[in-house]
Amino acid sequence: MTTSLVTGATAGLGAAFARRLAAGGGAARPGRHSLVLVARDAARLERVARELREEYGAEVEVLPADLATEKGIAAVEARLRDRGRPVDVLVNNAGFGNRGGFLDVPVADEVRMLTLHCEAVLRLTTAALDVMRERRRGYVVNVASVAAFMPRGTYSASKAWVVRFTEGIAQELRGSGVRFTVLCPGFVRTEFHARAGMDASRLPSFAWLDAERVVDAALRDVAVGRTVSVPSLRYKAAVALARHVPPSLYGRVSSRAGRRYDPRG
């Protein structure tokens, strides 16, 4: 039995991870699959769980938790440390965007983002590792963004932390039997932009990625042991370029692109 815990499993990329892992995708072992689904909306979690049981015959447990709170993080940590029901795969995916530039966003919302994108990822990875290292098996996928390579406020900074954190532990834990991949997608059609009240309607269609394809690419990268996963050639090229563009030049280019994509809604 392979057990996967996915945060933010009710929509977008998290729901796509849950479906693929329930079907035995990625580096999951052959045999039966069980899932632990985490998000805030308990009724929606139950609906997704029912669909996965019916469609894939997977065993599915739901764990409603707000990962931007101490109580929510502690509840998921406790599940990950439960040696009687060990978790083999952790997908730290839950995340959100704030509408507007740095000065438009209340600092409490920025702190909530840092708690979800950084503190929760740090604590859940640490909890999962306690058990994975003892069993010398498992893998962790942390979902960052191509924004990690661009200077765009707290969102980019939080995702840059996710990239560096994952790269660091991947090196430190080489040979431990536990693998790490950080997924850095570009724009993906999910609920993300609508939830944040961002207007992404003028983005060209080639900018958009499909959630299922992004997850397939990520799981292929997990299978070959790649630490940084950037799905699609166009975003691989964008990341390669962004790594070499000075922040001042990036500011000029992105303000032109901002006419097409306005995080202020």
In this structure, the number of other CB atoms found within 10 A of the CB of residue 146 comes to 20
Comparing CA positions, the residue from 173, 70, 183, 163 lying closest to residue 123 is 70
Count the site residues for ligand NAP by CB under 6 A.
Answer: 29
Cβ proximity to ligand NAP: between 93 and 125 the closer is: 93
Of 4, 33, 49, 66, the one binding ligand NAP by CB under 6 A: 66
Comparing CA positions, the residue from 1, 82, 75 lying closest to residue 38 is 75
Q: Which of 56, 139, 155, 235 is catalytic?
A: 155
Secondary structure of residue 180 in the 3-state scheme: strand
Of 34, 154, 166, 190, the one binding ligand NAP by CB under 6 A: 190
The residue written with tokens 């709170």 in the block is: 69
Region of 28-36, 78-86, 87-95, 224-232 interacting with ligand NAP (CB under 6 A): 87-95
Helical segments of the chain, H only: 12-22, 42-56, 70-80, 107-114, 120-135, 153-172, 192-196, 211-223, 233-242, 247-257
User: Whole-number minimum distance, CB 250 to ligand NAP, in Å?
Assistant: 17
User: Whole-number minimum distance, CB 135 to ligand NAP, in Å?
Assistant: 26
**Catalytic site residue 155?**
yes
Chain positions contacting ligand NAP, by CB under 6 A: 7-14, 39-41, 44, 66-68, 93-96, 116, 143, 145, 185, 187-188, 190-192, 195
